[in-house]
Structure 1
Amino acid sequence: MVTSEDDVVSIPIGGEVDLVNRDQLQSCLAKIDLAGVRLVHLDLGQLTFCDSAGSGHLVAFEGRARAAGCVVQARDVKPIVRKVMDLVGTGIG
């Protein structure tokens, strides 16, 4: 469940993101209203796998958030997920 407090939005993403459900991730991220948001936390502690297309959706969301003036930070990224994110060029830190 996406939560917001003041100008901070926290987005938990868990399980596996792959061919079966990556479009669902894209749909959920597209619905997030970034108006007035300063900081976006992507809580990835429960994310056990994310394929390159799923990471691509994160990259697209990151771009949209940065264009809206937000800082995007990832939390608790597992090494295997970090590796894929680095390969696709996310700037999420």
Structure 2
Amino acid sequence: MTEPRPLTMRWTTPDARTLHGALAGNLDYHSGDGLLSEVTARLAPGLRDVRLDFGSLDFCDSYGLSTLLMIARRVQSAGANLHLDDRPPVLERLLDMTCTLDYLTAPARKASRGEAD
């Protein structure tokens, strides 16, 4: 059995309205509070989208899910949208089993008339 990987976070701001976090490792009891603190500290006026990329996530437990729910509340309170990108099967299954994906994420953006797809 492999050793659990601690959660690592790499943050970028591709533009003034978007915060992007690339997460790797385990989102669990040991790392959830740190992720919540990091996202909360980065919420700024004018921020429209918070994109969390889970492409390198190994594991997410119920505390990790609770953390995502708290992040969603804070992001929504700040007037921004939360996006959970590149979800691995372990996270997808947890979100599906708990019926929380729609609550956690922003609705898909629809192109308006005259706007490029």
Q: TM class, shorter-chain normalised?
A: 0.7 to 0.9
Alignment correspondent of 2:100 = 89
Which runs of 5 or more residues in structure 1 are unaligned? none
Moved over 4 A (4+): none
Percentage of pairs with the same residue: 27
Deviation at 1:88, TM superposition (A): 6.7
Taking the aligned partners of 2:61 and 2:23, their CA distance within structure 1 comes to 13
Which runs of 5 or more residues in structure 2 are unaligned? 1-9, 106-117
Taking the aligned partners of 2:72 and 2:25, their CA distance within structure 1 comes to 20
Deviation at 1:20, TM superposition (A): 2.8
TM-score w.r.t. the length of structure 2 is 0.69
**Aligned positions, number:** 93
Q: SS at 1:46's partner residue?
A: strand
Alignment correspondent of 1:53 = 63
Kindly name which structure, 1 or 2, has the bigger radius of gyration based on alpha carbons: 2
Q: Which amino acid aligns with 1:39?
A: D
Alignment correspondent of 1:3 = 12
Q: Deviations over 1:44-63 (max 9, x none)?
A: 11111111111111111111
Alignment correspondent of 2:46 = 36
TM-score w.r.t. the length of structure 1 is 0.84
Q: Which moved more, 1:30-39 or 1:70-79?
A: 30-39
Contact 1:52 1:85 in 2 (8 A): no
